[in-house]
Amino acid sequence: MTDRWIRNAVGGRLVDPDERRSFPAVDPVDGRTFARVHEADADLVDRAVSAARAALTGPWSRWSAAARADLLRRVADRIEQRAEEFVAAEVADTGKPVAEARRLDVARAVANFRTFAGIATHAEQPSFLTELPEGRQALNYAVRSPLGVVAVIVPWNLPLLLLTWKVAPALGCGNAVVVKPSEETPSTATLLAEVLAECGLPAGAYNVVHGFGTGSAGEFLVRHRGVDGVTFTGSSATGSAIMRTVAGQVRPVSFELGGKNAAVVFDDADLDLTVAGLTRSIFANTGQVCLCTERVYLHRPIFDEVAQRLVAAARGLRPGRPQHPATTTGPLISAGHRDKVLSYYRAAAEAGATVLTGGGVPTIAGAAAADGSPDSDGRTGGVDGDAGLDGGWWVEPTLWSGLTNADRPVREEIFGPAAALIPFDTEDEAVALANDTEYGLASSVWTTNLGRGHRVAQRMRVGVSWVNTWFLRDLRSPFGGRGLSGIGREGGDFSVDFYTELTNVCVQI
């Protein structure tokens, strides 16, 4: 039993934990409990919302946009100064390689605060000079004010990145927030509370309540009448449930939900660039990214070559302890999520798929030589010194052929390191296959024909359509999904539009 606690943060203070309401924080690498998490009850959630409401009428309400921007820049600087603490917290929660947490998660947290420091101070406030009858005029101008108390609910796959993606613009626009991180990844939300307090954020403007969804902190928060809006990233089913809950009070929501993302590869693609890009888009973060590719449509003339290259790339991934420099892939987040992913592995087999590589649970410790050379099956196993990792939530990177759009593993989101490879013959067929889904988050098109790239990318029914790249973002651009992949857009001025309300002032001159 560990004596370390991950605490709630309410009104600018960390809350003393209650032994009667707690749950374990488990390292997905080896299944070890490394901390206890204090679960917030309804009373604590109410206190957090009340603290946020008080901040909206207290000193925080009198901060200028420029002062808020300066605060965001200080927060970015402080995260950089405490970067290794954030890396350690993120790795403990997720099991991802240290290098990845440092390069992506913490670096993007810094970028989020710096980017929105500039955006929030230069938000458009439109004005119009109106000509009235008899030569009179009226000046109409819009004034932005904070949305209010915002419930920020973030998932476990990129917890710090997505937390700061929402909190930075929310605070930059003058809101107060109550954050409910995933129960699987609670650490960095509490650590960020410490940093915000160090940087001078007034008490109550940022609060953290830990817990689960139904019957716990998540439900208590979205049902609370003191909440003015909800921003959520997570599953489509949870997003739908939140929407039903807040509908009666007509609260605004911003949802980035699941994806069943397609890649379309034409026979004129640069195959070196394409295979490297697809390897990232299928297997990054062990496939636990809403933007990851789970459907790969390959022009028939290059199907076999690309499939062989992707199999080699998948077999070259190296599971292991996050701290080992040779580790290139981590575990899934939990035992329950591994059960879900493995259920799709079984469903693919039942549908008659050919397993090109993977399809099960790896044996990590001792599965490969210390130099990373492949085992007898062509797979590269765990890195040297990985004894004891078989207690973690590992699965094999997996590729299938022989499936169609009618099969469950091609229609439903897996959220793991797996993809189906499917051939096509014509451009129109590829577009139809890619758009044959209830989701609409992202796609990628791979071709050296620039005209075709533009043409096909614009025909994708998604929120983000890449050409010859993946996961490349300008934080000022709109981000979000269509269909089951969400509602609303965030990023740049689009975030400002969600986190503020507009009041039009009309003055007759």
Please give the positions annotated as active site. 256, 290
E strand or H helix that includes residue 46: helix 42-57
Question: From its phi and psi, is residue 394 left (phi > 0), alpha (psi between -120 and 50) or beta?
Answer: beta
Return the structure tokens found at 134.
């008899």
Q: Is 65 left (phi over 0), alpha (psi -120 to 50) or beta?
A: alpha
Amino acid identity of residue 42, one-letter, is: A
Query: Of the candidates 155, 151, 146, which has an alpha carbon nearest to the alpha carbon of residue 225?
Result: 151
Bridge partner list, 419: 399
Helix ranges (DSSP H) in 58-216: 65-81, 83-94, 98-100, 107-119, 159-172, 187-198
Q: How far apart are CA 106 and CA 127, in angstroms?
A: 39
φ, ψ for residue 272, nearest 5 deg: -65, -50
Cβ contact 358:348 at 8 Å: no
Burial 363-378 (b: 16+ CB within 10 A, else e): ebbebbeeebeeeeee
CA angle, corner 229, sides to 223 and 235, nearest 5? 75
Determine which helix (DSSP H) or strand (DSSP E) holds 176, and give its type and residue range. Answer: strand 176-180
Nearest to 387 by CA among 333, 320, 326: 320
8-state DSSP, 216: S
Q: CA 441, CA 418: separation in Å to the nearest integer?
A: 17
Give me the count of residues in the chain.
509
**What is the C-alpha radius of gyration for the chain, rounded to an integer number of angstroms?**
24
Q: What angle do CA 467, 344, 296 make, to 5 degrees?
A: 20
Q: Which helix (H) or strand (E) holds 153?
A: strand 149-153
Please tell me the distance from the alpha carbon of residue 156 to that of residue 28, in angstroms, as a whole number.
Answer: 12
